[in-house]
Structure 1
Amino acid sequence: MKLQGKTILLTGGTDGIGLRLARQLREKGAMLIVTGRNPERITAAEAEGFEVIPADLAGPDGIAAVIAGLGGRAIDILINNAGMGADHDFRVAPPVPEDDERTLWLNLHAPIRLIAALMPVLRARPEAMIVNVTSGLAIAPSAGAPLYCATKAALRSYTQGLRAQLKGTGILVLEALPPVVDTAMTAGRGNKKLSPEECARQIIAAMETGKDEANVGMVKVLRAVYSLSPALARSIMLRF
């Protein structure tokens, strides 16, 4: 898909992978509308010239805020990028129910709700695209983050089913599967992390070529191992 001139709604676009996506997509000539919830990051993104819709997508009010902020405008591409992880490791401490609920909402419910709300808008465009950012952990989970893995695996399944539904329409459906990326969410989690700039570059390349999946960085290796032996891939990842 040619990105120049496309209007893109990008969730979680004021930090991390999302901010790098926004910057690189703008360089391609796209028009960006991003969402964010941190006031300081919103101000910084606005200072860069981005339109920001303030919205906390970890609950139903955030969906309403995004739809209201769009004001009925047409969009060509929806990128569901916003996400979070909750500590959910019984070996360390009991999980916090409120954190679990926010993770479920932000990682799974919000993308599904936004897709449903914006489907008529996307169907009306000559060509359109939905990009769901999941994770390499959607392929094989880690023991340390079962709730996060579950939300990403569920979104992966939803994305695959949605792609089949929309086959033959003008709406492409891309799943982006990043590895561990050097963002605030992964602070203190190992040293071998992909830069958010490179992660964004690979996702955008997949958008431009119309791929179904963007296996980013080391996820390509995980995907290859899984294709040979799902059990081996799971056993490797469950060590983490």
Structure 2
Amino acid sequence: MEISNSTIVITGGSSGIGLEMCKRFMDKGNIVITCSRSLDKLKKAQQQLPDLIVYQCDIADEKQCNHFVKWIQINYPKVNVLINNAAISSNINFANDDFVLEKLQDEMATNLIAPIRLIKLLYPALIKNNSAKIINITTGLVYVPRVNYTFYNASKAALHSFTQVLREQLKKEKVQIIEVLFPAVDTPWHNGNPPKIAIRVEKAVSEMLKAISQDKLEIRIAKVKLLYLLSRIAPKLAFKKVNSLN
């Protein structure tokens, strides 16, 4: 079913895919709450969407994350949808980067640990309300890694694995565990240099919403469907193709 009459938390909703999600869910009359590290970006998002509820928070920071959850529980007890969208990546060479371990910690904290923490802390509130959903945003790179994303691939692959486990563990509960695997999307995440194959953010989110309305639980967007099949049939070719793209 389509998500409506819901209270939705979307991490990383100040730009890109997250902001488009906020817009589309608000168009359906939902209450949408988003967080970001950057207060400036949150203010700009709120200028575009005046009814968007914003909260400055670095979800990689355990204390800030805990405060965010408590604030939600007090102010929005009817929360029933959590979308773990926020993510970061570093384009680095493992052997030659002197700060590689610090970047590892930051990426894992943001891309993997924070979503798991938010799920654990918000689960009691989510499960009390109707049409509860936990939606984890990952990538087609969980199937085939791209070599310049040294840790991003691994963090998202771990979240992919965790999502599958969580779905099985909670299969008897009244909550949907959904994963959305996006391809390259033309957003500010690419710092003004999106790959040629990147699709429009509007198309990416439209396809996501359509699949959610059809109660699909593992949603492969656009060419991720092809990448999934190719990774099973010809993994070496898939790896070569992914890493030859500009």
Q: How big is the alpha-carbon RMSD for the aligned residues of Structure 1 and Structure 2?
A: 1.8
Matching of residue 64 in structure 1 with residue 70 in structure 2: no
Give the aligned partner of residue 181 of structure 1.
Answer: 185
Q: Distance in 1 between matches of 2:204 and 2:67?
A: 28
Query: Percent same amino acid at aligned positions?
Result: 31
Which of 26, 42, 54 is matched with 1:52 structurally?
A: 54
| Correspondent of 1:76 among 59, 75, 80 | 80
The CA distance in 2 between the partners of 1:176 and 1:95, in whole Å, is 31
- TM (normalized to structure 2)? 0.90
Q: Name the aligned partner's letter for residue 11 of structure 2.
A: T
* 1:12 matched to 2:17: no
Aligned length in residues = 240
Query: Structure 1 stretch 111-120 or stretch 35-44: which is displaced more?
Result: 35-44
Name the counterpart of 1:120. 124
Unaligned runs of 5+ in 2: none
Instruction: Provide the C-alpha distance between the structure 1 equivalents of 2:83 and 2:168, rounded to a whole number of angstroms.
Output: 18
Distance 1:177 1:78 in 2: 16
TM-score with structure 1 length normalisation?
Answer: 0.92
- Aligned match of 2:205: 200
Contact conserved, 2:91 with 2:150, CA < 8 A, in 1? no
Query: In structure 2, what is the Cα distance between the partners aligned to 1:61 and 1:199?
Result: 33
SS of residue matched to 1:194 = coil
CA contact (8 A) 1:206 1:213 kept: no
What secondary structure is seen at the aligned counterpart in 1 of 2:54? strand
- Map 1:75-114; keep pairs closer than 5 Å: 75-90=79-94, 93-114=97-118
Aligned to 1:217: 222
Q: Distance in 1 between matches of 2:196 and 2:130?
A: 43
SS at match of 1:236: helix
Q: Over residues 167-216 of structure 1, what are the superposed CA-to-partner deviations in whole Å (9 max), with x where a residue is unaligned?
A: 13210111111111112221324222111121111222222111111111
Deviation at 1:100, TM superposition (A): 2.2
Distance 1:170 1:71 in 2: 19
**Correspondence 1:114-153 to 2 at 5 A:** 114-153=118-157
1:154 equivalent to 2:158? Answer yes
Q: Which amino acid aligns with 1:8?
A: I
The AA in structure 2 aligned to 1:162 is L
Residues 18, 81 of structure 1: 8 Å contact kept? yes
In 2: Cα distance, 1:59 partner to 1:118 partner: 16
Larger CA deviation: 210-219 vs 146-155: 210-219
Q: Distance in 2 between matches of 1:122 and 1:201?
A: 24
The answer to whether the 8 Å contact 2:133/2:176 transfers is yes
Gaps of 5+ in 1: none
Query: In the alignment, which residue of structure 1 is the partner of 2:234?
Result: 229
Q: Are 1:190 and 2:195 matched, yes or no?
A: yes
